[in-house]
Each structure stands twice: as C-alpha cells, then as structure tokens.
Amino acid sequence: MNKADWHARAAKLKIDGRAVINGQRVDAADKGTFECLSPVDGRKLADVARCQNADIDRAVSSARAAFEDRRWAGLSPGDRKRTLIRFADLLIANKEELALLETLDMGKPISASMNTDVPAAANTLRWFGEAIDKVYDEIAPTNDKTLALITREPIGVVAAIVPWNYPLLMASWKIAPALVTGNSVILKPSEKSPLTALRLGDLALEAGIPAGVLNIVPGFGPEAGSPLALHMDVDCIAFTGSTGVGKKIQVMAGQSNLKRAWCELGGKSPNIVFADCPDLDSAVEAAGGSIFYNQGESCNAPSRLLVERSIRDEFVKKLKQYAPRHNPGDPLDPETKMGALVDQGQMDTVLKYIESGKSQGATLCCGGERVRAESGGYFVAPTIFDGVTNEMKIASEEIFGPVLSIITFDTQEEAIRIANDTNYGLAAAVWTRDISKAHLVARALRAGTVHVNSYDEDDITVPFGGYKQSGNGRDKSMHALEKYTELKTTWIKLA
C-alpha cells in the first residue's frame, strides 16, 4: 500500500473505544470517556472509556472468577498453546488494521508498525504458546523415603500496566507469558495509545481465550493504574514505564497486599566506540539508527555516545551526514523513517531538554527544533549534541526523544566509569576489534544487555530488562515465565 492507500484506509477506520471486561465491550461504569488524539495531525481518533475504581473492581472480579473456576488455568498446556497460536495468527490476519491504529495513535512510521511492531507482538504470543508444553517440573534429589515435587503454578490475577512507546509489543511481552502459564490478566494500556490494546481484547476472545481471562481497562495512571497497584485481589503487577512511576508501583504493592511488583523502567544507555572499532560506518549507522528509531522513544536507545578522542572528529562528521536520513515525514508514508512524538507534552519535554543542552554549553551539531508544524503533528528533527559532559542534564536524564549526546573519552577506564555513572542500567554497547577488550568492557558494564560491535540485536529468546533503576525482573525468553508463576514444593512420605 502507498501513502494515499493508507490515508484512504485511515479515513474509513471505525474505532471502538470501549473497555473489554468479562468478555464484553463495555462503557466505563460512569460512562466517562477521554479523547484519544493522533500525534500525526492532532485530530481526534476516538472517545475511549475512562476506567476508574468501579471498572477496575469489575475487571478484577471477572479475572478472579475466571481464575477460580479454572476455565483457563485448568486447560492443559497443549490447549493453551493452541489458543495462543490462534491468537498470534489473528494478529497477523489483522496486521494492516493493527499497524494503522498503532501509527495513528502513537505516531511511529507505518513501515515500523507493519514490519516490526505487529509481527513481533504476534511472534511473542506464538513463541510463548509453542514453549509452554515443553516445560517440565522437577523432583528434588532428597532421599529414598520421600518424594519432593517442585512444581510451578500460575500466580492468579496479573495486572499489566504498559507505556505508550511500543503499545502492542509491550502488551504482548506481559500478556503472553502471563496467559500461557494459566493466569487471568487485566491490561491497562497507556492513556496516550490505548487503541491496539483494545483490539487485542477482541482478538483474544475470537481466538478462544475465555471471557474474563483477558480484560482491557483503558484510563489514566492515577485513576486506573493506581487502583490496580493498590488492589487487594491482584496477585502480581507487571509494570513497564518510567522509573518515577515504577517507584510508586513498588510502594503501592507494599501498602496493599505485598503483590509481586515487576518493573521494567527507563534507561540512559551508553554506546562506547573505541578507536579500533572494526567498521566506523556500521558504528555510525547503529549509533544514529538506534537513537532515532521510534523517534528516540525507546527505553534502550543509546542516548549517550562515548567516542574515543582520536576518532571523534571523523565520527561526528559522518554522523552529521547520516542524521538527515531520519528527517521526520508523514507517518503514513511507507518511505518515512521517523514519525511524530506521541503528543504535544512529549514534544515540549524534548524541546526543553534541547534548550538545556544549549544553555549548559553543549554544541548543537544538527536538528534541535520542531519541524512539520504545518501538519498539526508533533515532529522534532534528529538532534545531535557534541561536547557533552556526563553531568549535563541531556546526559544524565532520560529524554525519550531523538536527541543524541556525544561524550569524548581518552582511556578504557574512563569510558567504563562514564558509562556506569548513571542511575540506569538497561543496555550498552562496545565497539572494538580487540576481543579481550570487548569482553572486559562488557563484563564491567552494569547493564542488562551489552552489544559488541552492534546495537539493537533482538530476539524473543533472550531476556530483556535492567540493572539499577532500570528495574527488576526480565521480559521475554523462558526467564519471563518465572515472573508469573509460584513455586510449590509437595513432600510425599514414602511409607
């Protein structure tokens, strides 16, 4: 489809903004709604149910009832597997609609929604579905008078609260492992991008996931998220979002029933390029491509580029030449590489950080301004600052926009020190042809993922998550199953 086809399809789109509770599309109990606006052009897309306490209570009791009567938890792993695979197939069958919703709602280019977000979300459902009937429990090596079985059971009612930057993908990272292990789930999408999550609720029912097992409650954080985090009948909260809100989630879990609180949070990831980098052009493309992908709204974006002094001038020159490839365009144009920021508030935040970079003495190499304002959307040009020190706000705080900060270093020790001098620890990269140096630096970096001579390698088979204030727990891979299961030991006395 070309740009005109996508616009024609967008004009005809019918959007249902109601919540999904107990297998039904429903209004909020008080009929409240909020406007869902598109960052592409500022237009209203839909009125969406504004769920609050009463709706959260309804969703939790429907999830609890579904869990207690074992309509889902009681199925064999093989049956849950087949349902998850049907669910994945339905995402692919509805790929164009989901991709369009994602792009209109969140601002990312249609090529990313079509080629990455929707297929990756479907793959997550499929992968966890396929995995679950290959998981065995354990028998402990005790003694010949006893049998000790170590089994995993679903936790019960899981509440997933997700952010707006990869709405469908982040939802799938939570719901796939939670559902496949037999839990009932309540998903609260971000108020900034709730639309694909609501369609997920429909598709889950169509796939055969029983009513009440997956509920979708759109709404604002304090109104719909906090009641979930404080709820006495929610057993686990799986949160992805900012570090500030993650800290509140942990407090609310402690104030209520000490529910498990898994938090996947922010980042300020370092990308270290040594002078013996094997391929400068690849390093330039990875540095620029990864910070500008998804408009810089990626938790693991390499927002701090640490370059060894002897190659700095050449590297910066190449990066400046590379950046315009990501100049923002119409998100519905399949040729566009960078789209709109999620809303006006996020754009204003990014522009404020750019001002702080200038006023704290960094050198603006390119970008630094709003573009395409005539479209009514929220676009910022790819922005690069040189001469940054790690103490500047643009190097120490998560901007969540297309802004790259370049810091120069002289020695390996200095690079490691600067890289680790952050509250975060989500991802990092090191570029060198020296295998020992690569291993030593990777080992020294306090981050959940370290890339060597690449950035943004990704696969569902590996865990994703962070050290320090980037959170706890891991999404993806078999390790994610641990978050949504209880470990039980059953002792059997052999007479």
Residues that bind ligand NAD (CB under 6 A): 161-165, 170, 188, 190-191, 220-222, 225-226, 229, 240-242, 245, 248, 264-267, 299, 398, 400, 426, 464, 466, 470-471
Supply the minimum distance, in Å, between the C-beta of residue 260 and ligand NAD: 16
Which residue in the block uniquely carries the two structure tokens 């498990």? 260
Helix and strand totals (H; E) in the chain: 16, 21
Pairing verdict, β 184-188 and 260-264:
unpaired
Nearer to ligand NAD, 426 or 460 (CB): 426
Separation between Cα atoms, residue 151 and residue 117, nearest integer Å: 34
Residues 336/329, Cβ–Cβ less than 8 Å: yes
Strand partners of residue 407: 306
- Residues contacting 61, CB < 8 A, separation 6+: 233
DSSP 444-470: H--SSEEEES-S----TTS-B--SGGG
CA dist., res. 473 & res. 223, Å (int): 25
Provide the minimum distance between the beta carbon of 259 and ligand NAD in the complex, in angstroms, as a whole number.
13
Question: Which residue carries 């504004």 as its tokens?
Answer: 50
- CB burial readout 330-346, b (16+ within 10 A) else e: bbbbeebbbbbbbbeeb
Largest CA distance in the chain: 81
Cβ 200 to ligand NAD shortest distance, Å: 15
- CB nearer ligand NAD, residue 239 or residue 322: 239
In the Cβ-directed half-sphere of 357, how many Cα atoms lie within 13 Å?
32
Cβ distance 477 to 463 under 8 Å?
Answer: yes
36, 263, 277, 299: which one is catalytic?
299
Q: Please state the closest distance from residue 464 (CB atom) to ligand NAD, in A.
A: 6
Contacts of 10 (CB under 8 A, 6+ apart): 100, 104, 332
What is the layout of strands, in order, in the sheet containing 146-154?
Answer: 138-139, 146-154, 485-493
Cβ nearer to ligand NAD, comparing 56 with 90: 56
Least distance in angstroms from the C-beta of 294 to ligand NAD: 10
Q: How far is CA 5 from CA 8, 16, 116, 471, in A?
A: 5, 22, 20, 41
CA distance 181 to 462: 18
**Closest separation in Å from C-beta 324 to ligand NAD:** 26
Q: Measured from the CB atom, is 47 or 397 closer to ligand NAD?
A: 397
**Least separation, in Å, of the C-beta of 143 and ligand NAD?**
43
Q: Which is nearer to ligand NAD, 181 or 470 (CB)?
A: 470
Whichever of 78 and 345 has its CB closer to ligand NAD, that residue is 345
Annotated active-site residue 482? The verdict is no
For the CB of residue 265, give the shortest distance to ligand NAD in the complex, in Å. 5
What letter does residue 209 receive in the DSSP assignment? Answer: P
Nearer to ligand NAD, 132 or 265 (CB): 265
Q: Which one is catalytic: 102, 264, 297, 308?
A: 264
Helix (H, G, I), strand (E, B) or coil at 264: strand
Q: How far apart are CA 345 and CA 140, in angstroms?
A: 54
Report the C-alpha gap between 484 and 234 in whole angstroms. 12
Nearest to 484 by CA among 56, 206, 72: 72
* Pick 330 or 475: Cβ nearer ligand NAD: 475
Nearer to ligand NAD, 73 or 106 (CB): 106
Give the shortest CB-20-to-ligand NAD separation in angstroms. Answer: 16
* Residue 385 near residue 362, CB atoms below 8 Å: yes
CB 179 within 8 A of CB 84: yes
Coil, helix or strand at residue 338: coil
- Compare residues 83 and 405 and give the one whose CB is closer to ligand NAD: 405
Alpha helices in 381-463 (DSSP H): 393-396, 412-420, 435-444
Q: CB–CB of 294/112 below 8 Å?
A: yes
- CB of residue 395 vs ligand NAD: minimum separation in angstroms? 16
- Give catalytic status of residue 366 as yes or no: no
Q: Report CA 181 to chain centroid distance, whole Å.
A: 21
Q: Which residues are catalytic?
A: 264, 299
